[in-house]
Chains A and B, each alone.
Chain A
């Protein structure tokens, strides 16, 4: 009863916030809706017993990334998008491709039928010990590759931000 209620409650919030993100004229409201959406998603992870993923969702997306987004939006003092933006043909074409890809992905996801014992194993995999074991044993190579990619982008960001003195 309670879990069904929570599921519908959080789903409605997540979808409404997602719609708010793309329709809000003011970038601040757009970013705040996205924070709400991440929060509702974290709540949905919690109803699936995936505590670690839920907390990571909050700390990384809602707490760190979105705060930086908001920070930049407020620092630059971006105004509302008052003009009715007209999409160019290229943008429309790209939007159709992206939308088609999304529909394909969603149909594929809806086709997956989990067996009961598999569901159980999915639940167990939300545990922090299990995730740590996987990252540092079975998937250590992709994990290290990701860390190198992140490091490279960090170095890139510093290089762009750094001011060089004229020789």
Chain B
């Protein structure tokens, strides 16, 4: 076996070439970059999102929020992160050492693995897996196993109650969320996120009908908001609302934050965590918000397609479509969804555990089933 030569490589490129030869596969550029780009992105995005969260909460509560560190308090999160990372790593004496450490790793890896299939622009996609949306739902649901490991491993009753509440909540809300996504899948006829994105704009190869009604004619040349999935079938607007509510619950965000309700469970399933491990759990929550925001954007809000339609000679949609514009649009849609998440968190009171389950099983799940049936019939009848 020809293992890497002992002679030091002359250039970086030669170094990569040797490793590539060794693995027999374009391993380094593709695999390593598609890991490094999202992980760097998550870190920067989480820094900003925490800052926005604090500022928005401050404005909603008529305070000023962080102002001391840096201009407008912009460096506050960096100071917080430095504090977290330099803290002593404490493992409680009675905790299960293995599960205590493995919990945050599983939580973050599960959420991070979901990033592999997010379509960021017509030109950038980690993995073109054919069952993309399904893959993300599956891998992100493993996050629950990590929550259980962390909650049980801490050997603390608040943590265990928090974990059990989290699991009961997340697996319940996956059902309406999955059905709402399925409704969009029925409307677009594909599980591949990139393909679904292509079908919602001027780059589509197939004709697009407003509300799926053929009489209104092909609107593909107009593009913009008119070609988004949410307007391709009338029921998809309801499906989007269901998905949005369910995704709030999946992220453990208020008003569905009973797993970590401060007044009841101190901090819920991560009560014993501090320092780096807490930072990882925290990062996973923000990465999860980004994933559900992107899925909502791709399945319902046109993915990386522009919001601006072509109006006669003013070809706004043509001008604002392309790889860079794509990344801009999908990021703005996702970040807007995250902003709404934050807004809701600081506006609405927390639901009680039984109210939460009532809402999921008696309202959202039947409504999602109705959405699925209506969308299927609509698609069959308009063919």
Residues of A within 8 A of B (CB): 1-2, 28, 32, 35, 39, 51-52, 55-56, 58-59, 62-64, 66-68, 70-71, 74-75, 127-128
Contacts and interface: CB of A to CB of B under 8 A. Distances in A.
Interface stretch (B126-134, B214-222, B249-257): B126-134
Q: How large is the interface on B (under 10, 10 to 19, 20 to 34, 35 or more residues)?
A: 20 to 34
Contact of B131 (A52, A63, A70): A52
A70 B148 contact: yes
A63 B191 contact: no
A74 B25 contact: no
B225 interface: no
Interface string B361-378: 000000000000000000
A67 B146 CA distance: 10
B134 A55 contact: yes
B373 to A, nearest CB: 16
A51 B129 contact: yes
Contact of B27 (A2, A55, A58, A127): A2
Interface of B: 23-25, 27, 99, 129-131, 134-135, 137-139, 141-142, 144-145, 148-149, 151-152, 160, 163-164, 167-168, 171, 191
Given A64-B141, A71-B164, 12 more contacts: A28-B99, A51-B135, A55-B134, A58-B142, A59-B134, A67-B148, A67-B167, A67-B171, A68-B171, A71-B168, A74-B160, A128-B130
A66 B142 CA distance: 10
A166 to B, nearest CB: 25
A90 B142 CA distance: 38
A67 B106 CA distance: 14
Contact of A62 (B142, B148, B167, B171): B142
Contacts of A39: 142
Contacts of A55: 131, 134-135, 138
A64 B172 CA distance: 10
A28 B24 contact: no
A74 to B, nearest CB: 5
Contacts of A32: 99, 145, 149
Nearest to A74: B152
A63 B138 contact: yes
A142 B152 CA distance: 41
